[in-house]
């Protein structure tokens, strides 16, 4: 196997406004901060990665600021000029740094894109994906009012396969049931983001009559016993999201029977390498997966789309068109939804390039390491 060396890494710290606010009971996001990684080998191949931490620690303990510092001071020096033969060796070089999975994911994902380009293969083919069209799904937030119905009608027009509704203490269960019944051709997920820690399991049971495909993360991250109880009493499958931070969390979910479905967020678990390990374990135990999103830009979404081609991914993930969240995305071409699906590229790597003009326009900070 050919040996290659990482000769340069570039970091771009960006701030991009959302088209409209993204609100849950946890936080409202108006602007998305991100770090884009360019990893360059000695032959000039460029791998792209994205750090999907947020600006403040409302969702995970990592933030863009902590990830930037971790990348600059510890992670990048650990991989620069190292001899490699395969992409997963990058994450192995980072094991001396505890935690910091989101920062590590940015480098790990870039290494997979780089390797796929060296092999002149689309990333999804390198990963041994089994489908080239990925079902698209959107996330909608806000009250179940006329505005929500208009957005659902628009989702129908674009043939989205799935709609995920954020629920909280104000959600009208009867109104949600009517929506699910009326738009019966779309799968409906409900994302609780841990709200039932406050509302209780009896409130959760009311959603069992709605007709949802699944309920995502009813309780907080480490509430394994409550999730086990919910999985026993609910007919609607329980999908664990924030609880899944590593393969060890998946093992715990399996051992405790604390959920039926895995929500895999590659940018949170440590990148593509850890996602592959989780996929293998899920396949061994017959547990379905879907790929979750974190209001990503196109680089991270492209990696997620490649992972969504794997056989154990059974449900539509958080895959919307570039123009769902953004007036402008940083990748060329735009990610587009046609007939409810996103076609995977036959170009090498993730199949997308950076829009350099937009990158400079959105850039807050920039660093080069050689």
Assess contact for 259 and 239: CB atoms under 8 A.
yes
Token couple for 64: 């863009």
CA 259 centroid distance within chain:
19
Q: At what angle do helices 272-285 and 101-118 cross, to 10 degrees?
A: 90
Of 86, 166, 205, 251, the active-site residue reads: 166
Closest CA to 299 of 124, 101, 47: 47
Give the start-end residues of each E strand in 123-227: 133-135, 137-140, 162-166, 187-191, 214-216
Active-site residue flag, 265: yes
Compute, in degrees rounded to 10, the torsion defined by CA atoms 124, 103, 162, 354.
Answer: -60
Cis peptide before 333 (omega within 30 of 0): yes
Active-site residue flag, 7: no
How many whole angstroms separate alpha carbon 357 and alpha carbon 99?
34
Assess contact for 285 and 251: CB atoms under 8 A.
no
Of 104, 117, 265, 301, the active-site residue reads: 265
First to last CA, the chain: 25
In this structure, the strands spanning 4-23 and 214-216 are unpaired
| Spatial CB neighbours of 300, under 8 Å, sequence gap ≥ 6 | 49, 50, 52, 109, 266, 267, 294
DSSP state of 142: S
For the annotated catalytic residues, the residue numbers are 166, 265
């Amino acid at each position: 196997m050919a040996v290659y060396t990482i000769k340069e890494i570039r970091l771009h710290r960006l701030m991009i406004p959302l088209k409209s606010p993204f609100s849950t009971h946890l936080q409202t996001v108006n602007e998305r901060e991100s770090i884009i990684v360019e990893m360059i080998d000695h032959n000039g191949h460029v791998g792209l990665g994205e750090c999907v931490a947020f600006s403040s620690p409302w969702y995970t303990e990592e933030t863009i600021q902590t990830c930037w510092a971790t990348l600059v001071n510890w992670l990048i020096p650990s991989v620069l000029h190292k001899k490699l033969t395969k992409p997963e060796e990058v994450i192995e070089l980072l094991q001396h740094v505890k935690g910091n999975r989101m920062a590590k994911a940015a480098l790990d994902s870039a290494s997979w894109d780089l390797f796929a380009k060296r092999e002149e293969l689309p990333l999804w083919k390198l990963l041994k994906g089994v489908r080239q069209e990925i079902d698209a799904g959107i996330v909608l937030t806000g009250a179940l009012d006329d505005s929500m119905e208009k957005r659902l009608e628009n989702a129908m027009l674009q043939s989205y396969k799935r709609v995920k509704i954020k629920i909280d203490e104000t959600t009208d269960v009867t109104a949600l049931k009517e929506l699910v019944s009326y738009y019966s051709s779309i799968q409906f997920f409900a994302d609780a983001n841990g709200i039932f820690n406050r509302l209780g399991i009896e409130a959760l049971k009311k959603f069992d009559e709605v007709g949802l495909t699944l309920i995502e993360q009813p309780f907080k991250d480490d509430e394994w016993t409550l999730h086990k109880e919910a999985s026993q009493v609910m007919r609607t499958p329980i999908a664990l999201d924030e609880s899944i931070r590593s393969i060890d969390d998946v093992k715990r979910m399996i051992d405790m029977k604390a959920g039926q479905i895995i929500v895999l967020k590659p940018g949170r678990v440590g990148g593509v390498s850890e996602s592959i390990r989780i996929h293998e374990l899920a396949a061994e135990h017959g547990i379905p997966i879907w790929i979750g999103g974190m209001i990503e830009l196109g680089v991270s979404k492209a990696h997620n789309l490649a992972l969504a081609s794997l056989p154990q991914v059974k449900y539509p993930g958080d895959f919307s068109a570039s123009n769902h969240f953004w007036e402008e995305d940083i990748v060329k071409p735009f990610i587009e939804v046609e007939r409810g699906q996103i076609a995977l590229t036959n170009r090498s790597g993730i199949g997308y390039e950076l829009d350099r003009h937009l990158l400079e326009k959105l850039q807050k900070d920039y660093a080069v390491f050689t």
